[in-house]
Structure 1
Amino acid sequence: MIVTVDVGNTRIKAAVFEGDTILQRFVFDKTALEKNIKNILEKFGAIVCLVVSSVGDVEKNTFLAFEKKLKVHFVSHQDVFPFINNYETPKTLGIDRMVLAAGATLLYPNQNRLIIDAGTCVTYDFVDENNVYQGGAISPGMRLRYESMHNFTAKLPLLTLESPESYVGKSTTQAIHSGVVNGLVYEIDGFIDEYKAACKNIIIILTGGDADFLAKRLKNTIFANSNFLLESLNQTFQYKIKND
């Protein structure tokens, strides 16, 4: 039994796995990290390993404090991955993106894969059918789009996510919601259309905190799984154990 931990830019997500099955999922703030990890370990006494993927600013020592009780593994660029990395600057490729690419490679063999992670940023990662990671794209997520319009203008209000009432915003508030939500939907659909035109036999995986909200608004058929990074962490660690 292992617990996987995804330290993101805004929140921490964790999941306890028995083999490939999620027993329980957790979401909490960074300020409550140590307390929540302790509670998880007390509830699931059979956990033998803590697997961490971090793009946030949490100190490693917070996790290393649990080393006396179990093994702690931080996924890094030095790990074994099931794909060839064709990124021109491989050391700058985020660990979260590498984990997502690994999970897609292991779970969907012999296919082209486009993984879209809709969180603080929206990342697009493409692994071809020959298991070569080719690259992708990064753009602002919905929260960043709302905040940037407020922070870099004099009068636009700071709004929180809402479904647009119409494509035509008849007030400033409606126009912002339409621009943020519909703009991102058009962006994602546009990227998917480009990849579908360029290669056949492709699976589209949508994950991240905004995945469920976006999935029902896309015109393209996608596989939406908000737990995909946590599942990919489990798969990547199992792959490492078998191939080290």
Structure 2
Amino acid sequence: MNIVIDSGNTYSKAGWFENEKLIRYTTGLSFDQLIETIRLELPEQILFSSVSYTEKEFSEALQLPVRVHSLSSETPLPILKQYETPETLGADRIAACAGANFLFPGQDLLVIDMGTCVTYDLIDKDAAFQGGLISPGVKMRFKAMHSFTKRLPLIDPEKEPFLIGKSTKTSMLSGVMNGMLAEIEGIIERYRHKYPELRVVICGGDITFFESSLKPPIFAVPELVLIGLNRILTYNVALQ
């Protein structure tokens, strides 16, 4: 069994895999909770991807005889990188694209990850990561309106708001949620104009707000980053 870990600034997510099959996953873990969770079931291999902790810090905290791999800009990948600044490329972006390419090989793919920021990344049919764009996420947009004005409240996103807001709150909801939907649909359309056979794969915590409103075919794969991390892990194990 393999464990892959996506560790963010505040919380971590871990996935358990038997070969290429995701058995289970857990999220919202603090670093200490992550260590305790892994100790309950000794894996064969671990891939650790983190923006907050080093591989050394993780291994020293774990104190188990397990091979720990880490994801960095130097890690061999099952996909190509055609990106001008690969050292700045976020691990979640490359992992999501590796996961999409594993699930849908030989296809032009637009991978949309809806987290704190929304990333749109193209991986072509030759498994080459071409790059993409980064846009503010839903909660960031609400927070920006609240932070940069004196009277607009901080509100939470809601599914399918009315197009015409009848109050300040509902107007903000319409602006952010309908604006985000229009952005997603517009960018997909522009990419499909260039890549007619494009397949769209969407993941991230905020997909629940939009997946029912997006025009098919859109493939929602909530744990795409974990699937990609495991694909990177098995690729590196095979190289040994």
TM norm structure 1:
0.91
Give the direction of change, closer, same or farther, for the CA distance of 1:165–1:182 in structure 2 (3 Å limit): closer
Q: Work out whether residues 83 and 129 of structure 2, in 8 Å CA contact, stay in contact via their aligned partners in 1.
A: yes
C-alpha separation between the residues in 2 aligned to 1:127 and 1:164?
A: 30
Task: Give 1:194 deviation, angstroms.
Answer: 0.9
- CA offsets 1:52-77 (integer angstroms, 9 cap, x no match): 222x3345554222143312221111
C-alpha separation between the residues in 2 aligned to 1:102 and 1:146?
A: 31
Match of residue 187, structure 1, among 183, 190, 215: 183
Give the partner amino acid of 1:138.
I
Q: Work out whether residues 81 and 236 of structure 1, in 8 Å CA contact, stay in contact via their aligned partners in 2.
A: yes
C-alpha separation between the residues in 1 aligned to 2:157 and 2:53?
A: 26
Identity %: 37
Partner of 2:17: 17
Partner of 1:231: 227
Match of residue 147, structure 2, among 148, 151, 165: 151
Partner of 2:58: 63
Match of residue 217, structure 2, among 208, 215, 221: 221
Q: CA RMSD in A?
A: 1.8
C-alpha separation between the residues in 2 aligned to 1:33 and 1:9?
A: 10
Task: Give 1:192 deviation, angstroms.
Answer: 0.8
Give the direction of change, closer, same or farther, for the CA distance of 1:39–1:82 in structure 2 (3 Å limit): closer
Mean CA deviation greater in 105-114 or 169-178: 105-114
Q: The residue matched to 2:210 in structure 1 has which SS?
A: helix
Task: Give 1:155 deviation, angstroms.
Answer: 0.8
Give the direction of change, closer, same or farther, for the CA distance of 1:123–1:164 in structure 2 (3 Å limit): same
Q: The residue matched to 1:57 in structure 2 has which SS?
A: coil
Matches within 5 A, 1:66-77: 66-77=62-73
Partner of 2:31: 33
Partner of 1:6: 6
The count of aligned residue pairs is 239
Q: Work out whether residues 161 and 177 of structure 2, in 8 Å CA contact, stay in contact via their aligned partners in 1.
A: no
Partner of 1:129: 125
Partner of 2:195: 199
Task: Give 1:41 deviation, angstroms.
Answer: 2.8
Q: Which runs of 5+ in 1 are unaligned?
A: none
